[in-house]
Amino acid sequence: MSRAPLVPTDLFLLALPSDPQPPVDGRVFYVLATHVEESDEVTTAIWSVRPGEAPVQFSFGSHDKMPRLSPDGRWLAFVGERGENKRIYLAPLGGGEPHPLGPPYDAIAGVRWSPDSRTVAYTATAPLEPVTARIAHDERSGARHIRGLPFKSDELGLLDGRRMHLFTVDVAGGEPQRLTQGDFDVHDPAWSPDGTRLAFSAQIDLPETAFSDDIYTVASSGGARTKLTRSRGPSGNPSFSHDGREVAYVGHEFGDDVGGRFNHELLIVPADGGATRSLSRAVDRPVIDYVICDTRNVGGQQAPFWSAGDRELFVPLASEGTCAIAAFAHDGSGHRVVAAGERDISSFARGEDGTIVFGFSSPLVPSEIAMIDGSGTERVLTDCNPWLAERSVRAPRRVRPAASDGHLLDLWLLDPDQPQDAPYVLQVHGGPHMAYGFAFMLEFQILAAHGIGVAFGNPRGGQTYGHAYADAITGDWGGLDASDVLALLDGAIANASIDPARIGLAGGSYGGFMTTWLLAHSKRFAAGVSMRAVNDFVSEVGATDLGWFLEGEVGAPWGEGGRKLFEKSPMRAAHEIAVPLLVEHSERDYRCAIDQGEQLFTLLRRVGRAQTEFVRFTGDGHSLSRAGKPRNRVLRLRAIVHWFVRYLRPVGIDPVADAAGSLFEPLATEAR
């Protein structure tokens, strides 16, 4: 019996587990996300599972997340949204209803239990401090008084001047105690083993355009903060050693770098400050997850876990399109891989007994939870998407083509059911320092299920292959990277039966930049889809939430009046694009502002490119493809498939009518 193809509305069937916590009384708690068509939202609830048993729903709110177990095993704390605000809730593990702990806030993050289970630390939105704030917001009119950068965030939207600060609250009740204040945000709190201090990361007394952070500590009773690091680069996710003498964290000391040119390393600093040392530099791989998966957000990082006796530290380790779990020796003598394989381990937690639980994705698995017990035996605990057994889901083939200078690249191929002389789409990832690899890609599976093969790979600039690989295109966007993308295309043609007259090109963010760039500089493509692209560097630097990072990435400092930014922009040659192009963008995108898509569409229409169309979304930001509203994501997937069906002509599939709104029509395969 043939299996049905994956279709865009299958998004509403996806159940995606994440954020697993170490077992207590045999149960592993995690967050389960589902997509609800009627309300057009993603809902989350806390679930639990015992090995060998069916999962059980634990919380019943529609936006419950961040489950955290008390060290004494009595309580589960989680963040719930009941109405407009968020609160911390405590649920007794022995049974009973959750009850709120502390007041409601607009935002809560970083929930952490004290070692004695009597106190919960967290970060939350604090009241505005007008004297130091950079922004004030008049709620009645929406007007803002802005006195500094940044003033917007793709994740948070337009900022209002309030900051995320560190609080503690007694489990027995009472008012929270605020431990920090000032014009900075606090992230990633971590308790010292004796409960007397909290470590956190923050950007304090640095230039407003900086991308560096530092690690600080503050007494849990309040008082002055102590700075541990030296403002030399990104620093986050601190974790105290069991003896309290050191703090491990994730970052590097190579200066400002928001994109990922440098590997994030596993670093250690004395708990009272001083020189840092790296445990992972010699490996030349990042200890955060860079692998792209369109069923969750990207760029996962987390605090290191110390082993008993502080002999090892456990962190993610990304390499060649995978992300594993690795244990690095505290004495710097090396590391061992704990869990690996052709998959993307996106998050994990380690219990004091050595049990590890983790969430993972693979080319055939959107997301599941697994466990490694003390003996090293691995077991998958969940089966959240059994319906996929009835769908045509295909494993990609990996090949290693050579670039023009002989350097080996990485490429994956998803073949359609009729692979002879087939149309293919070459996909380019974003970043540019992200990576494709062994993770589930719904978009690619849907294209391949509708007669269009997909080739996707990692040109230089991408992460997980070492610093030199990631940094190779700095100052040369549109040069070496464009050559590598075309080498990936050559590799695809050499390893699949591809009709050279029916090749499409697609990508988002930096991948959108590359799509716009190559369609103007190469005649090898029959159609393209440029999504949430960077098309004009000048306006990108000045109109987005952190666009000035481009000055270093493309080697074009603004001090030269933006001349190099203008010269290096795809818009300069966009009039050379002669093939059908679909432009996709979101109005709420603050990472690559909507004008990036508007300019490209307007210019091409003005020079007579009648086969240029624009799909414009509302209500979502830069991460629409993986974290947007479900209906927008469905419409986006339909538009991509319809566009390439229209212009690449896969066998046996008729295009929809060429009419306004037709790109949003259900695929014929959705009517089943």
The pLDDT assigned to 292 comes to 96
374 pLDDT exceeds 90? no
How does pLDDT run across 72-113, given as a tens digit for each residue? Answer: 999 999 999 987 799 999 999 988 999 999 999 999 999 999
In the predicted model, what is the mean pLDDT of the chain?
96
- Cβ pair 381, 49 in contact under 8 A: yes
| Other residues' Cβ atoms within 10 Å of the Cβ of residue 342 | 15
Please report how the helices 480-495 and 510-521 are oriented relative to each other, as an axis angle in degrees rounded to 10. Answer: 80
Residue tagged 């930049």 (tokens)? 513
Alpha-carbon distance of 359 to 382, in angstroms, equals: 10
- Cβ pair 250, 265 in contact under 8 A: yes
At position 324, the amino acid (one-letter code) is A
C-alpha of 63 from chain center: 19
364-383: average pLDDT: 96
The pLDDT assigned to 299 comes to 63
How does pLDDT run across 611-626, given as a tens digit for each residue? Answer: 999 999 999 999 999 9
* Percentage of the residues of the chain whose pLDDT score is greater than 90: 95
How does pLDDT run across 176-197, given as a tens digit for each residue? Answer: 999 999 999 999 999 999 999 9
pTM exceeds cut of 0.75: yes
The pLDDT assigned to 672 comes to 57
Phi, psi dihedral angles at 668 (to 5 degrees): -60, -30
CA distances from 601 to 130, 535, 610, 637, 660 (A): 42, 11, 10, 20, 16
Domains parsed from the chain with CATH numbers? 393-670 (3.40.50.1820)
**Of the candidates 347, 389, 394, the residue with the CA atom closest to the CA atom of residue 368:** 347
How does pLDDT run across 338-358, given as a tens digit for each residue? Answer: 999 999 999 999 999 999 999
How does pLDDT run across 511-545, given as a tens digit for each residue? Answer: 999 999 999 999 999 999 999 999 999 999 999 99
152-167: average pLDDT: 97
Task: Report the half-sphere exposure of 364 (CA within 13 A, side-chain side).
Answer: 13
Residue 522 CB burial class (10 angstroms; 0-12, 13-18, ≥19)? middle
CA distances from 287 to 284, 296, 303, 362, 500 (A): 10, 19, 10, 19, 39
CA distances from 21 to 27, 78, 152, 297, 360 (A): 9, 12, 33, 19, 14
